[in-house]
Each structure stands twice: as C-alpha cells, then as structure tokens.
Chains A and B, each alone.
Chain A
Amino acid sequence: MTDGAAQAASLRWTPLSYVLLGAGVVSLVVGVVLRAAVPIFVALPLFVAPFAAALTGPRQALRADLDWRAEGAASDVRLVGTLRGSPTADLTDVMLTFPRPGNLVEREPPRIVRSRSSVRFELRWRAPFPTTAIADPPTIVWRDPLDLVEREVRGRRAPLVLDRYPPELLRLGAVRLERVLALPGETRSRRVGSAGEFFGIRDAAPTDPPRRINWRATARIGRLLSNEYELDRTGDVLLLLDARPTRLGRATDDVLLGAARAAAIGIAESFAREKARVGYASFGEFVEAFPLASGRGHRLRLREAIRSTRGSSVAGPSERCAATLSRFFPPGVTTILISSLTGDADADLVPYLRRRGYPTIVLSPSPSPVPVTGVALLPEDERLAARLERLDRRQNLARVWTHAPVVDWEDFWSLGAFIRLLREPGRRRGT
C-alpha cells in the first residue's frame, strides 16, 4: 500500500469538528478574559467531543467490496449496486458520494437502503444525447454518528463503462458488407451465431426470436430448441470520425462529437460481433488510424481508441485525411464518415475520399437539437433563427449528397434511416 493510500484510510476531522473546536477556543478565551468559569464549562464538551468520537469509532479502516452494474437502454441510465462489508464491518454509518460524469444528468435522487452488513443503492441518471462515459466508483467513507470524524472505506471497486447509443445499432451487424481481401471467398469463423451455415441445435434462450426456434425439434423433445449457425465474415468497414473544429463553438462541437463517438462505438461493436473486419480513423489536424482487423482484442482497442478521441483545435486539410487513409486502408472498403458537416471544409472531405476509391456514407449529427446557452432571443427571433439554420443545414447536406448518401441524424435516439440505407448496397455506393 502506498503512503497516499495509508493516509486516505486514516482518520480525518470533518468540518463540524473544526467548528466545535473553534467555538471551544472562543469560549475559552472569553472565560479567561472575563475571569468566569461558565464559558470554560461550555468549552469543555466542545473540546472533548471530537476526540471522544475518534476513540469510540472502529479501530481499523472498514473493508467493503462494491458490486455494481449499469442497466437501462437509450437515454435511461440506471446504476444498481451493493456494497458488501467484511463479516465484522458495520456499514450503518458508511456514506457514499457518487461522482456523475458531466454528460449525464440526475433524474432522481439516489435511493439507498442500508443494513448492518450491506448497502444497496440505485441511481437514476439520464443521457440527453448518445454518449460514452466512464462512471467512477463512489467515494465511500465511514463517518461517526456525530459527524465529527471520518475515514475512507477500503475494498474492491471498479469504474463502470456507460455506452448509450440508439438501440437499433444492435441489429446493424446483419448488414452485408463488401470485402476488400486480396483473395475473396468464404471466410469461415470459429464462432457460432445467428446467420450463416447451419451448425447445430441448442436450448432456446429467452432472447431468441421465433425464426431461430427449430419447431420440429421442439415438438419432438418437448422443450424449446434453437438453431445455431456458423458465422462467416461479412466484409470490411471503416469508421471515420471527423474531429475538426467547426463554427458552432467548442461546447456544441463537444456534444456532437460525444454523440458521434457513441454511434461509432455502437456501429463498431455490431459489425465486430458478426466478425466483420472493422477499421477506425479519426481526423482532427492529422489522422489517427487503426487498420482493419477483427477479434476480441481489436474490439477492445477500437473501443478505447474511439472513447479517447477528442476534438482538435486545428482543422487539417481534407486532402491530407484522404491521402493518409490510403496508406492504412485498401480502396473499396465501405467507409462510414461521421461528421456534423458544419465546418468550413467538411463538405470537401467526401469528394476526396471518393476520389481515393472509398465508397462513403455520411452520418451527420445535427446541431439543431443541441441547446444553445448564453443567447437570449425573443420567440419570433428564435423561430426565424431556427428556420435559417434549417435552410443552411439543408444546403450543406445537399452539397454533400452530390458525392455520397447522407443521413441527417436529428433524432439522436434513432438511426433507422441510417440502417435502411446500409441495407441497400446500391444506394450506399451512391449509384
């Protein structure tokens, strides 16, 4: 254990202790100055109480392990967990403080149910926009009943990953993608799944759709059985995140980039689950690329890479992006560009990508639903501004549509239009 950890688990005075001791000193000084005994009697319990609280508390740092998980879908974020103490630990006076990631808002105050050996809690947060966040474990301290001393509670606790994106992306993996392998052909996977060649029969799971149930086998055996299939790789896809600054300002850019990151994680997960080769690149001033690959390790690397993508303060030229991508990715790979298309040079990127041989589909998070802070307009001015913004946006999208299909992502919790577009190979190639 480090010195810092030892320090963290030792006793600490709370602000109320300092208030009592301060009042005690004042009372003592008054008693001495006035040569009166009563203020000294008032000072005595104020001095003694913090030490009495420390002496009557637990003699060692408590130990308790945290077991928590995230539930809910789309904008609903529900964290439920239990803090379990060691057999001798009394958790009645344990206090939990939950740090909330900045892109989530509290829907209800935390619900906490305590017993001597455990503390159960439930947090209800809301994600206004698709997001990818990490919830740090709560700060857990034991505090004496008088609120005079406290000490950190030790134990196992891990941060939680909160990915919230439109639930429709879970079905995206069924989309057939083009392959760009040198020797195309059937690429068998060791995984079994929901599509491909018949592999075998297993007991049905509650999540299996009716089409996967083997009704003949079910009738013979007398319980629900499902078919399993050998997955084959469906193809390759490149996710390109435009992280360049726009004229909307840093705050709006961050919200849009957060939604873009969440969508990129959802898309990458869905395709990677079906054994497609997935590549990722982000473009700010320069390109950061992760070549096409599949497998669990690659999925984790992609997830981390997407999560750590931040907005750039300098916009690189579009041609640089296309030229750099050609060094990492073969031409012909289906490219999903996620860009708000509000930057000055955003519309130029698609022609450059097409010229280098990347069939591109643009998913464009719209800035319209993002609230603008610090600007107060009259209702009629607000309506006019919204109308002008819509016209400007329509013009931007139309300019890009001449080169590649564009999906205007305005309802952040739905990507139905995007999935429909991907399912039609003719349309997604822009032919």
Chain B
Amino acid sequence: MTPEPPSLPRAAGGRRPVSLALLGLLAAATVLFAAVSAVPWIVGFAIAAGGVGGTVALRSTLRPGIREIAAVPALGALVVLAAGAPSTPTAELLGGVVPIALLAWLADDPRRTSGGVGRAAPALILVLLAVAIAWSCAFLLPPGQALVGFGSALLVVATILVAVLLGRPDLIDREPPATA
C-alpha cells in the first residue's frame, strides 16, 4: 500500500480556542454600562446579555456571510443602553470604552493567527486616544446643553467626511501611482 504523503498539521475544525478574558471584559463592560444606564436593571441586564450572547452565537457560525454581521446584536444593545443613559462622566466613559472592548474581542478571531489583539493594538490605541480626548473635554469643560450641540455639530461634519471617504478610500492610501 502506498504510504500517505506527509501533510500539514490541522487544528480541530480549522479553529483555535478564543480568549475568554476578552469575552469577559466585553461582557463586564456591557453589564456595567447597563448598570449605569437609566433603564431598569433587569431590563438593562437582559439587553446586555442578549446583545453579547447574540454576537457570540453569530460569530461561532461557520457561514462567512453571517460572521460579517456578528457585531450587530452587541452594537444594537449598546445604542439602546446609550439612549437611556444619563449624561454623567461614568456613563460617557463607559459609552466610549464598551465599543473598544467589542473591537478588541473582534480582533481575537479564532480562525486567524493568534495574537490579533497585539497586532491590532496600534489601531485600538488610536481609537482609545480619540475617546480619551473627547471624554476629558466633556469632563473638564463646564457641563451644559451647548457642549452637546457643539459635539453633535462636529460629529455631523465627521459623518459627512466619512461619507466622502467611503467613496474615496484612496485618499488615505499610500500606494504609489502606477505611472511612478
């Protein structure tokens, strides 16, 4: 009988175990955010658990199309909780940190090489820096309705900028021109 040719090793199902610490961080941050929100605690907890659980469930499916939208339940829960949250420094801080925890958890993809969070660290730090600047401005400046309006105006400008950049991703591309 012809011997089986040597082959490359294969992980079980092509996946590796996920980091439970990151999942715990995401769950804890979302539950904490639900706790500081104005919605009744049991409803808030249910929304947080449903959002995180739904995201975990969608991400564990094998269908790539479903996995692309796995973040939707967690993001939906975040928006719902944020809508009912009072404008306190803690709620604002958690509102900025929970999406970063979600991004960190998404970076630890079991179908990719381990160490995704470490490789995504520069991007995550950039996001964290933006949130830190916004939060410290909101916390240090005197509170008031004007600040919300000011921030909203800035974000509308940012949204328009995003819309423009979505059509022109090459604006931030460093690829040299073909004729160079």
Chain A residues packing against B (C-beta within 8 Å): 1-3, 5-6, 9-16, 19-21, 23, 25-28, 30-32, 34-49, 51-56, 59-61, 71, 78, 92-93, 108-114, 120-122, 144-149
Contacts and interface: CB of A to CB of B under 8 A. Distances in A.
Contacts of B99: 42, 45-46, 49
A225 to B, nearest CB: 27
A398 to B, nearest CB: 39
A109 B14 contact: yes
Interface string B76-106: 1011001101110001110110111001001
A30 B162 contact: no
Contacts of B126: 48, 52, 55-56
A145 B107 contact: yes
Contacts of A19: 68-69, 71-72, 75
A123 B117 CA distance: 29
Given A48-B126, A56-B123, A111 B82 contact: no
A145 B169 contact: no
5 contacts: A40-B151, A44-B96, A44-B155, A54-B169, A93-B119
A48 B127 contact: yes
Contacts of A52: 122-124, 126-127
Contacts of A55: 123, 126, 172
Interface residues of B, number: 70
A32 B83 CA distance: 10
Nearest to B126: A52
B57 interface: no
A25 B158 CA distance: 10
B95 A38 contact: yes
Contacts, number: 200
Contact of B147 (A15, A37, A93, A108): A37
Given A20-B75, A41-B96, A147-B106, A14 B155 contact: no
Contacts of A31: 82, 148, 152, 155
Interface of B: 5, 7-10, 13-14, 68-69, 71-72, 75-76, 78-79, 82-83, 85-87, 91-93, 95-96, 98-100, 103, 106-107, 109, 112-113, 115-117, 119-120, 122-124, 126-127, 130-131, 134-135, 138, 145, 147-148, 151-152, 155-156, 158-159, 162, 165-166, 169-170, 172-178
Enumerate the 4 nearest inter-chain pairs by beta-carbon distance, A residue then B residue, closest first: A41-B95, A59-B174, A145-B120, A52-B126
Given A19-B72, A45-B100, A145 B116 contact: yes
Contacts of B155: 28, 31, 40, 43-44, 47
B8 A144 contact: no
Given A21-B166, A38-B82, A114-B113, A44 B131 contact: yes
Contacts of A92: 113, 115, 119
B166 A13 contact: yes
Contact of B106 (A16, A111, A149): A16
A16 B109 CA distance: 13
A112 to B, nearest CB: 8
Nearest to B11: A111
A427 to B, nearest CB: 33
A10 B175 contact: yes
Contacts of B9: 111, 113
A21 B119 CA distance: 22
A114 B9 CA distance: 11
Contacts of A59: 174-175
Contacts of A112: 8
